[in-house]
Chain A
Amino acid sequence: MIYREAGQFKTTYASDQAIFPIRQDRIIAAAAILAAFVVPTAFANDYWLQAVLIPLLIYALAALGLNLLTGYAGQLSLGTGGFMAVGAYSAFKLSTAFPWLSIVAVFLLSGVMAALVGVVFGIPSLRIKGFYLAVATLAAQFFLIWLFNKVAWFTNYASSGTITAPTREVLGVTVSGPTAAPGTRYVVALAFVALFALIAKNLVRGRVGRSWMAIRDRDIAAEIIGVRPLRTKLLAFAISSFYCGVAGAEFVFLYLGSAETLAFDINLSFLVLFMVIIGGLGSVLGSFLGAAFIVLVPIFLTNMPHAVGLNLPVAIQKQIELMVFGGLIIFFLIVEPHGLARLWQITKEKLRLWPFPH
């Protein structure tokens, strides 16, 4: 009844090709973005911003990047952590070497750096596919982490091998470093992820995205209809790594404040891959839902026993958390193999018929 496009006539190509062709969708999307900017900055406390929302946005950006590569172009990658590390260490080197450089430019350049590295490690994808490619990207993960650990130049010869985000400002407001307010960091992270989500949405419904999907669905057929695998696959690696690189830079500058290579180990790659799979392969919205699931559910499981007054020993609680979380992942994948994004789609279809389903 409320969610129905009857009466919305499209009289131009532009309106027919809009990202959200239905008016209700546009309203929901606009309201959601507005709320995301306004509500947390006004009401959320430090814990919410610093420990929940900022990592959520950063993970969402990384998941978005991996989703472009794995979900749309069909190239399985386990190198996300490594590419994020490239972004983080580039951002650190750039911002310390050129203190006058705007932090926004630093983030973008770090993304470019990660994209270049991504292209190099994407070259094997021309010859190998599927699980074999996953193994090849795994090599990227281990090599990059090893490199940052081994070569002290990347950390400016810090004895501990830790990189620390310097204090930097955008338009006179401190956004990184110890004195940056969590609210500011949140807004910056949100602005980045909103912008890049919009770009991703446009990419995947245009020529680039269609050629990615053609490669994913059947590469030989794609080649026959004129999609060039070399260019398409490497472009997917480049753009995906760009996203991951920006996310990695934000990971250190906006979230942790200081980090060592351990923060970017293989577990991070798996985590982001799980976000993509649970959220929904080949869906922009799915990246956000998957990130939300992976970030929020463990926090919920940790805090739940306390909230109901159950004081379990922390070790038991952690183990329960891991078991329940693992169980939930399996449960969700069995019930909805297409991920959480599919749930939203079903909800929309149901809404159109509501309140008179046949």
Chain B
Amino acid sequence: MKLRNVMVAALVLALAAGPLATAAFAQGGSIFVPLLVYRTGPYAPSGIPIANGFVDYFTLINERDGGINGVKLAWEECETQYDTKQGVECYERLKEKKPVLVNPYSTGITYALIDKAPGDKIVIFSMGYGMSAASDGRWFPYVFSAPTNYWTQASAVVRYIGAQEGGLEKLKGKKIAHIFHNSPYGKEANPTLEELSKKYGFELTQLAVDHPGQEQKSTWLQVRRLNPDWIFMSGWGVMNQVAVKEAAAIGFKMDHFIGNWWSASDADVVAAGDGAKGYKGATFHAPGTNFKVHAEIVKHVYDKNKGAGKKEEMGQPLYNRGIVNAMLAVEAIRTAMTKHGNKVLTGEQVRWGFENLNLSDAALDKLGMKGFTHAVKVTCEDHEGNGPVLIQQWDGKKWNVVSEWVQPMRDVVRPKIEAAAVEEGKKRNYTQRDCSKEK
């Protein structure tokens, strides 16, 4: 009988107090940025380094510079497990704290939040992921995907493959397989690849891998039967390791296997051991720790024991991506401050900062990121910046950049983005902005 009383008490407490416990504490005088992370679940191998990189850079800004122009950054992580429902819960909870921008880190969550952004006036910064169509800022004023998006990436990878074959015209008759995570994220590159296959005459095969991707035997059986010349992969989380292992097991030429930028980090290749040697991946920033910004992070963050992860894990591609993401967010806020002053900003003001973000090579040099990532310019029309792509290769111990900056095919991608933006915008009853009137 006593147990039952305990139970009733616990139940009443949970039912009544559960959501009440969210009462937001005041964020006096700092700019708040929520972080939707996934440090647990099947996608944790990918989620942890990104979150660490992001947090370390924010810590660096607060520790070294005392914030952005003296305004401190505040952030809070919220665990989503890469699950859209939990992501929405996180967003709604953290919204109370007046964030200026949100990093969903999942294409599914991005889709769910895109519709909420204009009403809440919070910038959705889906760096290199999310809805490619949203890169047209005239239809989606609150969504940014700088420095590039999936369609841009796919076109750059095709250009790279063409270059390896000795010219784009040599692609004719070649077989390229696209292995993708069967989710909005994985499917995102498909339309561009289809169009390019028509344009250049290569034979494209789309192979889906279902969530979470631990089981891929049938996919790789198809690959064996097909015997493609090149494989491009849009994988995520545990799916990547399995795919790399399977490719090694069937003896596929690893240097003809290219992952997109979410499929090429240390966790994806280490499990396959020597078999992963030669595996390539796309990226928009260099791997490794040979940059000034890493030295600064060690000095101001890890040496003060404020690091989010382990010092040895710095420099992984996904860790560096977290840095780039945080840097772009910080620079957008800094840009917004040139107009609105050095104070706590609103989401709307930060949106202006993103639209006027112009990071030159000189600016990158000043940030200690010379050669780390490419210059980027965002405009009202173009929320993506159409950034070039690097190809990196795994040598069994670390990632090395093996290409120059590969230019995307803007002539193919941009019209597609604009057409898709019209379609997606119409679905949502949006109207097109006139960018010439924006200041």
Contact = CB atoms under 8 A, between A and B. Distances in A.
Interface of A: 45-48, 50-52, 55, 146, 149, 159-162, 164, 166-167, 177-179, 255-263, 265, 292-293, 296-297, 299-300, 302-304, 306-307, 313-315, 317-319, 322, 328, 331-332, 335-336, 340, 343, 346-347
A315 B10 CA distance: 24
Given A257-B112, A343-B8, A347-B8, 9 more contacts: A47-B95, A149-B210, A160-B185, A167-B428, A263-B108, A292-B15, A293-B14, A313-B77, A314-B37
B267 interface: no
A162 B111 contact: yes
Contacts of A46: 92, 95
Nearest to A53: B19
B155 interface: no
Contacts of A162: 108, 111, 184
Nearest to B113: A257
A317 B108 CA distance: 23
A303 B115 CA distance: 26
Contacts, number: 153
**Which 10 A-B residue pairings sit nearest by Cβ, starting from the closest?**
A300-B18, A315-B39, A178-B115, A307-B21, A160-B184, A303-B21, A51-B92, A296-B18, A314-B79, A318-B79
A160 B182 contact: no
B251 interface: no
Interface of B: 3-4, 7-8, 10-11, 13-15, 17-19, 21-23, 37, 39-40, 44, 48, 77-79, 81, 84-85, 88-89, 92-93, 95-96, 107-108, 111-112, 114-116, 118-119, 131, 182-185, 187-188, 190-191, 208, 210-211, 420, 427-429
Nearest to B118: A178
B191 A256 contact: no
Nearest to A260: B184
Given A159-B190, A164-B428, A297-B18, A318 B40 contact: yes
A280 B29 CA distance: 49
A145 to B, nearest CB: 9
Contact of A299 (B18, B116, B182, B191): B18
A315 B79 CA distance: 7
A269 B305 CA distance: 44
A314 B208 contact: no
A179 B120 CA distance: 11
Contact of A304 (B8, B21, B88, B89): B21
B18 A332 contact: no
25 contacts: A46-B95, A50-B88, A51-B93, A149-B208, A159-B420, A160-B188, A179-B429, A256-B84, A258-B115, A259-B112, A262-B183, A292-B15, A293-B11, A296-B15, A296-B18, A297-B18, A299-B18, A300-B17, A302-B79, A303-B93, A314-B37, A314-B39, A314-B78, A315-B44, A343-B4
A47 B119 contact: no
Nearest to B117: A178
Contact of A159 (B48, B81, B114, B187): B187
A328 B116 CA distance: 34
Contacts of A260: 84, 108, 111, 183-184
Nearest to B48: A315
B178 to A, nearest CB: 13
A263 B420 CA distance: 24
Contacts of B40: 315, 318-319, 322
B18 A178 contact: no
A57 to B, nearest CB: 14
Nearest to A346: B4
